[in-house]
Amino acid sequence: MRRETGAGDAHAGSADRSCCGSPGAGGSGPGGSGAGGLDAREASAPGGVAPGERWQAVLVAGAPELSARLLADVFGPLLALAPAERALLVGTLDAWLECGGSVGRAAVRLRCHRNTVFNRLRRLERLTSRSLSHPCELVETVLALEALRWAAGRG
């Protein structure tokens, strides 16, 4: 079971999953080639997205079944919220990411107090059971956000 954390709280993660950086989990180590022996420049992108542009979009569009599972697993409780409430939390996450993880800059962009941004991010963490301060869980959250965008674009 995951422990609930705050947006600035770092922790070692849960024992039920290895960290996203392990080469044995289907990836490659530093300096190695990616999936199927191709490096990033050689990989073709589905949907006409240039590989260097937005990798998360390429990954989500390239594996629609896995993307749907990721979306349900990570954002399931978020999807159950009323649309306005969900949009508020997703918009806050999006602004925070676009601002490089700066709560202060996200608050300026969203025209709200920085504590409001903190509170929304903590709520998102509770709903998703993922900490935004844990790199592997942040990656899952970012990919789930991209899967949400992709699903909305298809629907």
pTM: 0.68
* Count of helix runs (H) and strand runs (E) in the chain: 6, 0
**pLDDT value of residue 91:** 97
10-residue stretch averages of pLDDT, the chain, 155 residues long: 42 40 37 38 47 72 89 96 97 97 98 98 98 96 93 75
**pLDDT value of residue 5:** 42
**pLDDT value of residue 85:** 97
Q: How far apart are CA 93 and CA 103, in angstroms?
A: 10
**pLDDT value of residue 36:** 38
The answer to whether the CB of 88 falls within 8 A of the CB of 77 is: no
**pLDDT value of residue 125:** 98
Residue type, 30: P
Transcribe 29-88 into DSSP letters.
Answer: -TTS--GGG--TTTPPPGGG--TTT-HHHHHHHH-HHHHHHHHHHHHHHHHTS-HHHHHH
**Three-class SS state of 141:** helix
**pLDDT value of residue 30:** 35
